Structure 1
Amino acid sequence: MTQHTVTTVWKENMQFVSDNPLGHTVLIDTTKENGGDNCGLSPKAMMLSSLAGCSGLDVVSLLKKMRVEIEDFKIVVTGELTEEHPKYYHTVFVDYHFTGDNLNEEKIEKVVNLSIEKYCGVMEMFRKFATVKTATHFHKK
Structure 2
Amino acid sequence: MKFWMRENAFETETEYGKLTVSGNEEYGYRPYQLMVSAIAVCSGGVLRKVMEKQRMKVEDIQIETDVTREPSEANRLTKIALHYTIKGEELKESRVEKAIDLARKNCPMAQTVEGRVELEETFTLV
Does TM, normalized by the shorter one, top 0.5? yes
1:37 aligns with 2:8: no
Aligned counterpart in structure 2 of residue 71 of structure 1, from 39, 56, 59: 59
**Paired amino acid for 1:121:** P
Calculate the aligned-residue CA RMSD, in Å: 2.2
Q: Name the CA distance, whole Å, in 1 between partners of 2:58 and 2:111.
A: 26
Tell me the residue number matched to 2:117.
130
Q: Whose strand fraction is larger, Structure 1's or Structure 2's?
A: 2
Tell me the residue number matched to 1:46.
34
Structure 1 runs, 4 residues or longer, greater than 6 Å off:
none
1:18-76 CA distance string (max 9 Å, x none): 356xx555221343xxxx634x3210010000101211121122222222212220122
When the two structures are aligned, how many residues end up with a matched partner? 125
| Unpaired runs of at least 5, structure 2 | none
Q: Name the CA distance, whole Å, in 2 between partners of 1:97 and 1:13.
A: 40
1:75-104 CA distance string (max 9 Å, x none): 222211112251101122121210245324
* SS at 1:84 equivalent: helix
* SS at 2:72 equivalent: coil
* SS at 1:14 equivalent: coil
Q: How does 1:1-141 map to 2 (within 5 A)?
A: 6-10=1-5, 12-19=6-13, 23-24=15-16, 25-31=18-24, 37-38=26-27, 40-100=28-88, 102-116=90-104, 118-139=105-126
Structure showing greater relative contact order (alpha-carbon pairs closer than 8 Å, 6 or more residues apart): 2
| Unpaired runs of at least 5, structure 1 | 1-5
Cα pair 2:56 2:89 within 8 Å, conserved:
no
Q: % of aligned pairs identical?
A: 18
* SS at 1:89 equivalent: strand
TM superposition shift of 1:133: 1.6
TM superposition shift of 1:124: 2.1
* SS at 1:70 equivalent: strand
* SS at 1:74 equivalent: strand
